[in-house]
Amino acid sequence: MNTAVAHEADHHGPPHGLKHWLFSTNHKDIGTMYLIFALIMMFLGGASAMVIRLELFHPGIQFLEPDLYNNIVTNHAYLMIFGAVMPAAAGLANWMIPMMIGAPDMALPRMNNLSFWILPAAATMIMLSFVVPFFPGGGSQINTGWTIYPPLSLKVGPSMDFLIFGIHLLGISSVLASINIIVTIFNMRAPGMKLMQMPMFCWTWLVTAFLLILVVPVLAGGVTMLLFDRHFGTSFFDAAGGGDPVLFQHLFWFFGHLEVYILLLPSIGALAMIIPTFARKPLFGYHSLVGAMCVVGTLGMVVWAHHQYTIGMSLPAVNYFMIGTILISIPVGLMVFNFMATMWRGSMTFETPMLFAIAILIMFTFGGLTGVMLAVVPADIQYHDTMFVVAHFHYVLLPGALFGLFAAVFFWLPKWTGNMYDEKLGKLFFWINVLSFNLTFFPQHFLGLAGMPRRIIDYNVMFTEFNQISSIGAFIFGLSHLLFLYIIIKTVRGGKKATPQVWEGAKGLEWELPSPPPFHSWTVAPQFKPAD
Amino acid sequence: MKKFVMGMTAAILSLLAGVSYAEYGLNFPEPATPIARHIFDLHMLTSKIITILLIIAVAFILYSVYAHRKSRGYQADQTMHKGWFGTWSWILVPAMVLGVDLTIAGSAQKSLVDMWEAPQTRCTAESKPDDKCYDMIVKVTGHQWWWEYSYMDEGITIESRYTPKEQAGDQYLRAVDNQLVLPVGKKIRFLHTSADVNHAFWVPELGMKKDAIAGYITETWAELDRKGTFRGQCAELCGTWHARMPIVVAAVDQSEFDTWVGKKQQAMQLALAEASADKVWSKDELMAKGKETYDLKCAACHQVSGEGLPPTFPALKGSVIAKGPVAAHIHMVLNGKNVMPAWNSMNDLELAAVITYERNAWGNDTGDVVQPADIKAAR
């Protein structure tokens, strides 16, 4: 049977048209679909962010109703985290991991198809949760933010149920994709490739996949309990029935804090491929980087309550969570150090991926350092739930996750398409993007310190100046992504032909394949020769 | 590109220079309690540490970018990761970071213990100034979207709501109708809770932020050391009008505080006497009182026009409840439903007035007059 199927595929090739994509089990196709999906979601999430900044450009309520504002804030988070960054990282994994480890495809190709095609359904649910209140009988809007804390979330109309089911679907998709990645990495490496010789990108994704499997079910459990409280008369989170609203916060942040590392690690892995390539020098501290990632994953799982210092925990508990959180700076510091040491005494050139990598190092370090400030409990009492926190996590997540993905796309786009992207436009995009990012989020630190809470639609006039600077930055930042889209489309349509190696300093199995790689690559497993 | 950058720069500079309608802050406002002062120092310390670390990191990166580039003909050092530094950096770097971590965590300990352990015993005549005891208790209850302050010893309860823009001017969203008046030099124990969803009580000058959680009580404490007006806001997303929950603390002398307490106690007694008197009120009296109370307490959701903000906040104008049986209307206001809170904390007169108003305003014209006695019977 198997040979018959293989035989048929050889003769006729993959199906054409819609079926090609709908039924595809090819890791490259699925990777492409993930990336396109993520790009669409990024534009939707970005549009919602620009609406938020438009409303905040001036004190007063100009464009939105307060509930609609909160709804957009909620939607922005879900679209960006679950719609853009996680699928984009999964897309990179799909494309690159089999090529990097010398595997013909992912280990479980049909499950791969399923884990992608759940996503559009999940995205539909999430967008319905946004749209439903506009219809008669649709109930109130989701005015809770992405944290959906009860009791507030218990009072929201049916759109909250759409969101809960959307989260369930996203969770299933992520867990399936994670299982696939783990099985692929454990079983399908080229002969001779030991775990500790894998490209770093595979390592970061291996750790990420384990984290996902460990924490996503906790979120799913939490939102299911919320669903039961809403409809089936339980009171897990209602003090009147013997429950505790804070319990949900613990469940949410047990997932939520690890989620930050889930978003970061794949991009860190991409950086670990990019920096040695353009420094023309092996990665500094391969073993310590693997160790640091495992430590980040483990420590990250036991520090969640630093998101909730103000809920009234006991002194020993806050002290533990404070010290645990501060200690995360050790593995993260080691990662940053290793990247700096990889650049040190290299022979660097500065193509777009490398420019992004250097900017990420600086901005992510800054975001991480404000994270240390936030970990200190007495000071966090002042920062908590202010714009300072908003600035902090955008400094972590945009450089750490999103810019890493941009760098990765520029790095691997020639490999995927066989065409070089326009370097001039790439650099132009880099400068506009990074400068306007800083213009958007740096002033928000001051807003927070001066006393502006987050998630408010209207603010006192004393916060006007920095909000206006931030909004102007946000408009430039948002629009700059149209240039990104243009560069991608232009590269897909044509351009200077790329060599198999693409970059002068590139090393690894994926660069031995032609650019673009054939539909089925590594049908014969390559012999892996470890670099020293 | 160059033109674009210059244009943007000019726009931003003109914004910075031209807009001068309010003082803007770059850092925490000046603290008003010893704990807030410790927090401020801690914040400045960590800020300095991270600035230094960032400068060091950026300096290394920029030097490397400048010196170790291919265009300068620099040859990559292919064996660097195998030298002694490559072998031992995995322990050297964490050891250095650990040192910084311990410095930061250590310097936080004193203020953490200080602020976290709210006093549990009342101060007596023998208490020394440094003793962990309290002189008074204020219970702070968060409501959607106002604050209720109960002075437990003085027997006063005040309701604090945001002041509309016309009256608040530049302090809009940082001004309230009834301020939280507190005496300087007294150790005040705060109990926080919520009547509905989560809120968070935050006044930067007092160095405290605590979540208010329905069904649970959280604690903080403060000892004000200077007079002044300190402004904060609700810091936990609490639904539609989260932005309209300012907190204003008026820190005053003990004598001023005592005078204020006396006045409030008197006013409360008068209101109570009025409400519980067996008086039959005229419709006009109830309508006037009802409008006052409605605009203050009900209009945030149901709007002054009675048209509400559907679907979350239904209209009262022409509504089934407001035009239907009186008993059902009273029941709804007393007990609440879904998002609608139970308003049983209002006195009989206020409730009678509000319900009368709702049944006759905006063309509802039922002609019904609800008396305080009716409410008393329905409770």
- Has residue B47 got a pLDDT over 70? yes
pLDDT for the residue B112:
94
Same domain (yes/no): B267, B283: no
Q: Where among B272, B288, B305 does a domain terminate?
A: B272
Same domain (yes/no): B231, B202: yes
Same domain (yes/no): B177, B52: no
Query: pTM of the entire structure?
Result: 0.91
Q: Which of residues 313-352 of A touch B (CB under 8 A)?
A: 315, 318-319, 322-323, 326-327, 329-331, 333-334, 336-338, 340-341, 343-350
Q: Which of residues 189-248 of B touch A (CB under 8 A)?
A: 192, 196-198, 200, 202, 204, 207-211, 213-216, 218-219, 231-244
In the chain, the amino acid numbered B44 is: M
Q: Where among B242, B272, B302 does a domain terminate?
A: B272
Same domain (yes/no): B182, B282: no
First to last CA, chain A: 43
Nearest C-alpha in A relative to B232: A451
Residue pairs between chains A and B whose CB atoms are closer than 8 Å: 327
- CA pair distance B199, B295, nearest whole angstrom: 23
Closest CA to A396 of A439, A362, A447, A352: A362
Tens digits of pLDDT across chain A (532 residues): 344 444 444 555 677 788 889 999 999 999 999 999 999 999 999 999 999 999 999 999 999 999 999 999 999 999 999 999 999 999 999 999 999 999 999 999 999 999 999 999 999 999 999 999 999 888 889 999 999 999 999 999 999 999 999 999 999 999 999 999 999 999 999 999 999 999 999 999 999 999 999 999 999 999 999 999 999 999 999 998 999 999 999 999 999 999 999 999 999 999 999 999 999 999 999 999 999 999 999 999 999 999 999 999 999 999 999 999 999 999 999 999 999 999 999 999 999 999 999 999 999 999 999 999 999 999 999 999 999 999 999 999 999 999 999 999 999 999 999 999 999 999 999 999 999 999 999 999 999 999 999 999 999 999 999 999 999 999 999 999 999 999 999 999 999 999 999 999 999 999 999 999 999 999 999 988 876 5
More confident residue, A482 or B365: A482
Residue B16 lies in a domain: no
Same domain (yes/no): B168, B254: yes
Chosen from B38, B101, B145 to mutate, greatest number of chain A CBs within 10 A: B101
Report the percentage of chain B scoring pLDDT > 90.
Answer: 59
Q: Residue B40 burial by CB count (10 A; 0-12/13-18/19+): exposed, middle or buried?
A: buried
Chosen from B54, B231, B242, B249 to mutate, greatest number of chain A CBs within 10 A: B242
Q: Do B89 and A463 touch (CB under 8 A)?
A: no
For residue A62, which residues of chain B lie inside 8 Å, CB to CB?
none
Same domain (yes/no): B339, B370: yes
pLDDT for the residue B9:
52
Task: Summarize the confidence of residues B348-357 as an average pLDDT.
Answer: 89
Decide if B27 touches A, using CB distance below 8 A: yes
Token pair of A313, please? 């925990």
Q: What is the CATH number of the domain that holds B284?
A: 1.10.760.10
- Has residue B25 got a pLDDT over 60? yes
DSSP summary character for residue A283 = P
Helix (H) or strand (E) holding B158: strand B156-160
- Has residue B15 got a pLDDT over 50? no
Q: What is the CATH number of the domain that holds B252?
A: 2.60.40.420
3-state secondary structure of B222: strand
Decide if A214 touches B, using CB distance below 8 A: no
- Has residue B6 got a pLDDT over 60? no
Same domain (yes/no): B149, B196: yes
What ipTM was estimated for this complex? Answer: 0.92
Residue B110 lies in a domain: yes
For B190-237, what is each residue's pLDDT tens digit?
999 999 999 999 999 999 999 999 999 999 999 999 999 999 999 999
Residue B74 binned pLDDT confidence (cut-offs 50, 70, 90): very high
CA distance B61 to chain A (A): 6
Decide if B20 touches A, using CB distance below 8 A: no
Q: Is the dihedral of CA B364, B369, B373, B378 positive or negative?
A: negative
- CA pair distance B189, B185, nearest whole angstrom: 13
- CA pair distance B220, B226, nearest whole angstrom: 19
Task: Summarize the confidence of residues B87-107 as an average pLDDT.
Answer: 93
Same domain (yes/no): B56, B163: no
Q: Do A373 and B1 touch (CB under 8 A)?
A: no
pLDDT for the residue A453:
96
Nearest C-alpha in A relative to B78: A281
Helix (H) or strand (E) holding B208: strand B208-212
Same domain (yes/no): B111, B185: no
For B135-191, what is each residue's pLDDT tens digit?
999 999 999 999 999 999 999 999 999 999 999 999 999 999 999 999 999 999 999
* Residue A295: C-alpha distances to residues A105, A207, A331, A395, B94 (Å): 30, 10, 7, 22, 12
3-state secondary structure of B192: strand
Q: Which of residues 251-280 of A touch B (CB under 8 A)?
A: 279-280
CA distance A350 to chain B (A): 9
- Has residue B95 got a pLDDT over 70? yes
Q: Do A281 and B21 touch (CB under 8 A)?
A: no
Residue B367 binned pLDDT confidence (cut-offs 50, 70, 90): confident
Same domain (yes/no): B102, B172: no
Residue B250 lies in a domain: yes
Q: Do B105 and A326 touch (CB under 8 A)?
A: yes
CB atoms within 10 A of CB B44: 13
More confident residue, B130 or A255: A255
First to last CA, chain B: 72
Domain count, chain B: 3
pLDDT for the residue A292:
96
CA distance B7 to chain A (A): 12
Task: Summarize the confidence of residues B338-357 as an average pLDDT.
Answer: 86
Residue B7 lies in a domain: no
In the chain, the amino acid numbered A160 is: M
Same domain (yes/no): B144, B260: yes
Residue B90 CB contacts under 8 Å (≥ 6 apart), including other chains: A285, A287, A288, A291, A334
Domain coverage including residue B305 = 277-378
Residue A403 CB contacts under 8 Å (≥ 6 apart), including other chains: A267, A356, A359, A360, A363, A433, A434
Token pair of B119, please? 């006093």
pLDDT for the residue A138:
85
Same domain (yes/no): B256, B147: yes
Q: Where among B239, B272, B305 does a domain terminate?
A: B272
Residue B123 lies in a domain: no
More confident residue, A274 or B132: A274
